[in-house]
Amino acid sequence: MLKKYVENFLRALGRPLIAFISRLGELSIFIARAIFNCLTPPIYLKLLFRQMVDIGFYSLPVVALTTVFAGMVIALQTNAGFSSYGAESAVATVVLIAVTRELAPVFSGLMVAGRIGAAMAAEIGTMRVTEQIDALSTLSTNPFKYLVTPRLLAGIIVLPLLVLIGDVIGIFGGYTVAIYQLQYNPANYINTTINELQSIDIVTGLIKGAVFGFIIALMGCYNGYKSKGGAQGVGSATTNAVVSSSILILICNYIITGMIFTK
């Protein structure tokens, strides 16, 4: 009796489990191939440069807007929460730590995931369903090197730079709120910020940026590369790319923070 229940249960579990594991295997092979192709010549420098401009330069406005408001809102909330304990010194420190360690990397990552991850999946997916990827192969060009490698490298290189810019803009956002809205002393605020600034904060943000850049490009390329079945397939590839990279970014963010800041 019990054996039968267990059997049925395992059966019901079986199909999605097998699908999940084969998907995981497919992704692992894709990652291995991608990394192998990143490390072996030839690298298409022109394509790499174009991707860096696409991912980095054209993402500046969204990254700037999100981080400036993130910094501003942290300044407001810290002031509200710490007003009974002498908020003035706390605001600068909290803004600094929150922005550099968490907000700039995470917001940059999520924004770029939405902007670039979707575009990558849509472009590569369309190339897949219109046989352009097969056409690359028939012209003796490795599609991995031509399509995936430049995007992955560009993501890993450019995201940390975006985070760095996000750091500066986010802190500036906090500063403007503190000075113009909360009427703090500018000199004290800047002093506290500079004294409290530690290299670990910046380095953490850069590491996170590189990891997030890898995740975004990987999920965009993977979902596009494996898409099938015309317009609908490309549509779901795009959705999957954004959703999976956003979730992975938040999970990895927690893990990296845990590894660096818990002792």
Binding site for another protein (CB under 8 A): 123, 126-127, 130-132, 134-141
Contact 156, 214 (CB under 8 A): yes
The span from the CA of 148 to the CA of 48, in Å, is: 10
Which residue, 99 or 133, is less far from another protein as judged by CB? 133
Cβ proximity to another protein: between 22 and 185 the closer is 22
Nearer to another protein, 142 or 257 (CB): 142
- The candidate with the shortest Cα–Cα distance to 104, out of 76, 74, 133, 125, is 74
Could you tell me the smallest distance in angstroms from the CB atom of residue 139 to another protein?
5
Smallest gap, in angstroms, from Cβ of residue 213 to another protein?
A: 22
Which candidate, 203, 125, 155, 198, places its Cα nearest to that of 59? 155
Q: CB under 8 Å to 35, separation ≥6 — which residues?
A: none
Instruction: Select 42 or 186, whichever has its Cβ closest to another protein.
Output: 42
Q: Name the residue nearer to another protein (CB basis): 51 or 79.
A: 51
The answer to whether 47 and 144 have CB atoms below 8 angstroms apart is no
Shortest distance (Å) from residue 54 CB to another protein: 12
Q: Are 38 and 153 in contact (CB under 8 A)?
A: yes
- Cβ contacts of 120 within 8 Å, gap of 6 or more: 151, 216, 217, 220, 221, 224, 241
Any alpha helices (H) in 130-229, and if so which ranges? 132-138, 143, 149-176, 186-196, 199-225
Token digits of residue 237: 């590839």
CB of 123 to another protein, least distance (A): 8
Nearer to another protein, 140 or 199 (CB): 140
Q: CB under 8 Å to 245, separation ≥6 — which residues?
A: 113, 117, 215, 216, 218, 219, 220
CB of 84 to another protein, least distance (A): 59
| 57 vs 180 by CB, closer to another protein | 57
* Residue 133 Cβ vs another protein, minimum distance, rounded to whole Å: 9
Closest distance to another protein from the beta carbon of 132 (Å): 5
